[in-house]
Amino acid sequence: MSHLFPNVQWETMWAATSETLYMTGVAVAVTFVLGLILGLLLFLTSKGNVWENKLANAVISAFVNIFRSIPFIILIILLIPFTKAIVGTILGANAALPALIIGAAPFYARMVEIALREIDKGVIEAAKAMGATTTTIIWKVLVPESLPALVSGITVTAIALVGYTAMAGVVGAGGLGNLAYLEGFQRNHNDVTLVATVLILVIVFIIQFIGDFVTSKIDKR
């Protein structure tokens, strides 16, 4: 092993891997919640739905579009003052979280909105005719009926987030991206870059596998 990858320090590599997993995990969890809320708001305030409101819809939509359009590497830089204010530092895994979440949640929100639009309007009408409250409609109709799409959406988002963590690593957030850049690229240790890349691929494949598995289990259509 040490012959094949002379420059790889496995302990550092595992530490970087767990940092990447930590950043991805926390970011996915928060993105799921925030994106779901934003997506629901986008859907519910749109035309013909229970909270139809042109102004609110336009405001949320603009917010989502702006943060979805900013290239991630620029978003990190723009958010430095914000990160400093809430995390206290701009280095380390935690410092990457605000940018990761703000970059990914709007992206996921659009996917949630699309998933909700796919629900048959008749089913929502039927729930209303039964005397359901809006809260009941959200939790017992909208979310369960769009769940496969919500899960496959968060899978795509999680994979994008793995890529984002690598980018965040370049500007000091830690993780495999950081290691590949500092140890691999700057010190010209190609074996480190290779191993970091393979580990990232493995993480992506595992996420995709879990996502596909869960989606097929819950889809009863």
Least Cβ distance, residue 153 to other proteins (angstroms)? 16
Q: Which residues of 1-15 are buried (b: 16+ CB within 10 A; e: fewer)?
A: eeeebeebeeeebee
- Is 168 within 8 Å of 76 (Cβ atoms)? yes
* Interacting positions 191-220 with other proteins (CB under 8 A): 218, 220
Cα gap 134→120, rounded to integer Å: 16
As measured in angstroms, the least distance from the Cβ of 58 to other proteins is 19
Nearest distance from C-beta of residue 44 to other proteins, angstroms:
17
Q: Which of 47, 48, 120, 187 lies at the binding interface for other proteins (CB under 8 A)?
A: 120
Cα 65 to Cα 76: distance, rounded to the nearest angstrom: 17
Q: Does 190 bind other proteins (CB under 8 A)?
A: no
Q: Which helix (DSSP H) or strand (DSSP E) does residue 17 occupy?
A: helix 10-44
Sign of the C-alpha dihedral computed for residues 35, 41, 42 and 43 taken in this order:
positive
Segment lying near other proteins (by CB under 8 A), choices 10-18, 117-125, 154-162, 163-171: 117-125
Please give the residues from 122 up to 161 whose contact with other proteins meets the rule CB under 8 A: 122-123, 125-133, 136, 140-141, 144-145, 147
**Contacting positions for other proteins (CB under 8 A):** 120, 122-123, 125-133, 136, 140-141, 144-145, 147, 218, 220-221
